[in-house]
Amino acid sequence: MKIGIVVPFSWSYWGGVIEHAEHQADALETLGHDVRIICGHDPPGIKTKLFHPRTGRHGSLPARVIPVGRSVVVPANGSLPNIILSVPTSRRIRRALERERFDVLHLHEPMTPAICVATLAAARCPLVATWHAAGKLGWMKMGVHMWGFLIDRIDERIAVSEQARATAARWLPGDYEVIPNGVVIPPAADPADRQNHLVFIGRHDPRKGLAVLLRAWSEIRRRTGARLRLIGTDPLQARLLLTRLRVSDDGIDILGIVHESVLTDELLGAKALIAPSLGGESFGMVLTRAFACATPAVASDIPGYAAVMTGETGVLVPPGDVRALADGVVELVEDEGRRQAQGAAGRRLATERYSWEDVGRRLDAVYARAVA
């Protein structure tokens, strides 16, 4: 089939849904499908600098990406996503759909303007949709009244977790199949012989809990001597947060947005991932990334993470509890035998439940149903 993956965010700024779509495209191409990704793009220049204070990836777009508009930062669900709201977007969507003539379209966060809403209105082929978010989603109160009727155009509904399914069904009752986010499994990953590094992955959004981690850092650093590697966090915003919290940057390396291969290398070489999110996470995507690299995690005990974590793959601590986070990290790092055993268990879990090979086959079956 020719499949269009529709994402309402900007390719230029790293995020879980964009990453999901790129790996989804890889998995579907492996199965023999012809795939395009329709999303936003913010090319380098004065206009992008004006609207986006954080750094992004502004290089050449992959051939399979079809850009349809610039993005703006819109606070939503405790996060700061880059959503495309430019006026020409609807026209560009219609032109792209007429030109590409897709057999099926797969929309991520389908009720999000402007890309997904315009696609729902203009599409003339079967539609599949995936819901990722969990939480109150207060903006949906307006969305349901303004364009909620378009939900009837969707042939197959998917949620990445039970939390995402419950959130979507609260606003849009119906049947949802739960298919988790996939993860790329590196060919080899040894939990032993790791650098004394700890990794945090996430944007500078309050719900990601970076402030909690930084408050705990001096104690973690004192007791373990480890270095903290911040990935996905804008360097300027991280520096401002350190200053506001009056926390020393001793032992902290701010890597910012990095290439996929660099992120994998960081996880393959680290002793643990720290995921101190405060809530709003429908699925532990950063956890499965770490598990695939045989890296255990210390994470907040929130529903989206608890659904992925097991007692054999890491440690759960109360969200927002600085002391519990510090103790959890120190206890894991100091017990090398336990740390290696949890790393190995995490890799088995990621391979058995979350590999893109398996997720791709499940999506393929959904597309076959939709087209039939």
pLDDT digits (tens, 9 = 90+) for 214-236: 999 999 999 999 999 999 888 98
Neighbours of 327 (CB within 10 A): 18
CATH number of 2-182+355-371: 3.40.50.2000
Domain ranges of the chain: 2-182+355-371, 197-353
Instruction: Give the pLDDT confidence score for residue 54 in this predicted structure.
Output: 67
Contact 81, 280 (CB under 8 A): no
Instruction: Tell me: pLDDT of 20 over 80.
Output: yes
For residue 53, what pLDDT band results from cuts at 50, 70 and 90?
low
Poorest-pLDDT segment among 11-15, 72-76, 102-106, 244-248: 72-76
CB-based contact 340:347 (threshold 8 Å): no
- What mean pLDDT comes out for the span 89-105? 97
Q: How many CB atoms lie within 10 A of CB 192?
A: 10
User: Which of 106-110, 147-151, 154-158, 249-253 comes out lowest in average pLDDT?
Assistant: 147-151
* Per-residue pLDDT at 76: 67
CA 323, distance to chain mean position in Å, is: 27
- Mean pLDDT over residues 7-26, rounded? 92
What local confidence, expressed as pLDDT, does residue 77 receive?
62
At 126-140, the pLDDT tens digits run 999 999 988 887 778
Q: What distance in Å separates the CA atoms of residue 368 and residue 176, rounded to the nearest whole number?
A: 16
Averaged pLDDT of the chain = 93
Average pLDDT over residues 76-92: 82
CATH topology for 197-353 is Rossmann fold (3.40.50)
**Which residue has tokens 């017990």?**
335
H/E element, 73: strand 71-73
pLDDT of residue 145: 80
Residue % of the chain over a pLDDT of 70: 97
For residue range 161-208, list pLDDT tens digits in order.
Answer: 999 999 999 999 999 999 999 999 999 999 999 999 999 999 878 889
pTM for the model stands at 0.88
36 or 71: which leads in pLDDT: 36
pLDDT at residue 78 is higher than 70: no
- Asked if 70 and 92 touch (Cβ cutoff 8 Å), the reply is no
pLDDT band (50, 70, 90) for residue 86 = confident
Note whether 2-182+355-371 and 197-353 share their fold: yes
* Each residue's pLDDT tens digit, 242-295: 999 999 999 999 998 888 899 999 999 999 999 999 988 889 999 999 999 999
* The pLDDT value given to residue 302: 95
- Residue at token pair 């995020």: 15
Quick: pLDDT tens for 344-364. Answer: 999 999 999 999 999 999 999
Can you tell me the distance from the alpha carbon of 174 to that of 58, in angstroms, rounded to the nearest whole number? 39
Contacts of 252 (CB under 8 A, 6+ apart): 217, 227, 228, 230, 242
How distant is the alpha carbon of residue 81 from its chain centre? 11
Q: Could you give the CA distance from residue 155 to residue 202 in angstroms, rounded to a whole number?
A: 33
- Is residue 71 within 8 A of residue 118, CB to CB? The reply is no
Q: Which of the four pLDDT bands, split at 50, 70 and 90, describes residue 74?
A: confident
Q: Tokens for 270? A: 């680290």
Average pLDDT of 300-318?
95
